[in-house]
Amino acid sequence: MPIAQPPTREECQIPGQAALALPLPEPFRGHGVVIQRSAVAGFRHHEAPLLWPTLRAGAPLDLVRESENTTDADAVAVYWHGRKLGYLPRGENLMAASLLDRRRDLSARIQRLAPRAERNRRLCIEVLMR
């Protein structure tokens, strides 16, 4: 089965929708190589809607492998300050899951916030490998 290519920056942007794209804070510029861009899945089922007013583009995120997840064996949860925002989408999580299983140093950051987009496209992130 071929591995899907990560979406481009343009694919994460919602055409005709205003998106908040603030410059990245200095400590996060060039902090690893971007290996994936994805929208966060499960946005409305976790704490992302509650935390929405406090989220900012460039904010660092943690990726947590959930190998015991009964819904998706390759599940990778996305956390901000210890609070779950959602997951890397199924079908886009295999590479990150495999790298985390091999104890590779992965991080993530908020790429874009699109408040008027569909819920599953509101929060776009970049996954980085250091």
What's the predicted TM-score (pTM) here?
Answer: 0.76
Which stretches does DSSP call E strand in the chain?
Answer: 33-39, 60-65, 76-80, 83-87, 106-113, 123-129
Write down the pLDDT at residue 17. Answer: 47
pLDDT tens figures, 55-65: 999 999 999 99
Q: Each residue of 12-27: pLDDT tens digit?
A: 554 554 544 545 444 4
Domains of the chain, earliest start first: 29-129 (3.30.70.2330)
- Go through 21-51 and write b for each residue having 16 or more CB atoms within 10 A of its CB, e for each that does not: eeebeeebeeebeeebbbbbbbbeebbbeee
Query: Which two structure tokens, joined as six digits, stand for 1?
Result: 């089965």
- Write the CA distances from 66 to 55, 93, 99, integer angstroms: 23, 11, 13
